[in-house]
A = this chain, B = another copy of it.
Amino acid sequence: MAKAKRVLKWQRDPEGMRIRILEAAKQEFAAHGLAGARVDRIAANAGANKRMLYYHVGNKEDLYLEVLEGAYEQIRAEERGLDLEHLDPPEAIERLIDFTWNYFIRNPEFLALLNTENLAKARHLKRSTKVKSMHSPFVEMIRTVVNRGVESGDFRVAVDPVQLYISIAGLCFFYLSNSATLSVIFGRDLLKKEARDERLAHMVALVLAALTGKSTADFGKVKAAGLRAPAHQPV
């Protein structure tokens, strides 16, 4: 009995616990929305007791807001890492689209969270000074790129950077966020590798063609990346 080395029933790890809780919450909210999310499932997936959520973060809505803020924080951080200054304008735009597209693919929860927040009419976001203070560098990046493009003659016209930003995001977002229903409607898997590649090529071609006035190879190639529609009745 002297050897009875005291065996721990559990260890303290507040930081780790908090991280696991927020990660589990992110997955849960992304998968089921705010109303559909279950506090017990979050706790279980975090390997925690339900009480921990309230101890470390707060109630369900606090948890949700924290997740949402974290999601914005993350994308803003990655956006800042993208420097388009040294690229010539068309390449910069392509890089921008490529980044947006792949960020969305790598972080599907982000798309789901945005949809959930929009279902709530941005009720939480409005109260978050944190998010409102996190400005995306993209609009300014686009503005300078477009200006440079117009000066160099690469681009024919000036475009409102906000509109262009929303357009690029929209081209990527809609395809991915709605891939489930679109895949059913069109009767083909829009998320498989070839389909994704084809989509990226199309988006880049579309935007660059509009800006430069010259059609790039991909946009023009009829056969390229299966730009042809399959011979059937889609919707």
Contact = CB atoms under 8 A, between A and B. Distances in A.
A175 interface: yes
B163 A169 contact: no
A157 B202 contact: no
Given A114-B181, A132-B184, A160-B228, A32 B119 contact: yes
Nearest to A162: B229
Contacts of A115: 115, 118-119, 177-178
B136 A234 contact: yes
Contacts of A235: 76, 134-139, 165
A17 to B, nearest CB: 27
A210 to B, nearest CB: 4
A interface secondary structure, majority: helix
A192 to B, nearest CB: 14
A74 interface: no
Scoring A117, A121, A166 by chain B CB atoms within 10 A of each residue's CB, the highest score goes to A166
Contacts of A162: 186, 229-230, 234
Contacts of A205: 210
A32 B220 CA distance: 43
A203 B125 CA distance: 27
A159 interface: yes
A227 B160 contact: yes
B203 A210 contact: no
A137 B234 CA distance: 8
A165 B156 CA distance: 25
Nearest to A136: B235
A149 interface: no
Contacts of A19: none
A209 interface: yes
A119 B174 contact: no
A198 interface: yes
A193 interface: no
B136 A180 contact: no
7 nearest A-B residue pairs (beta carbon): A136-B235, A170-B174, A35-B36, A122-B180, A160-B227, A209-B210, A210-B210
Given A115-B177, A156-B215, A209-B210, 20 more contacts: A118-B177, A118-B178, A118-B179, A125-B184, A131-B185, A136-B185, A136-B235, A139-B229, A139-B233, A159-B219, A160-B226, A160-B227, A161-B229, A162-B230, A167-B203, A173-B178, A174-B174, A205-B210, A206-B207, A206-B210
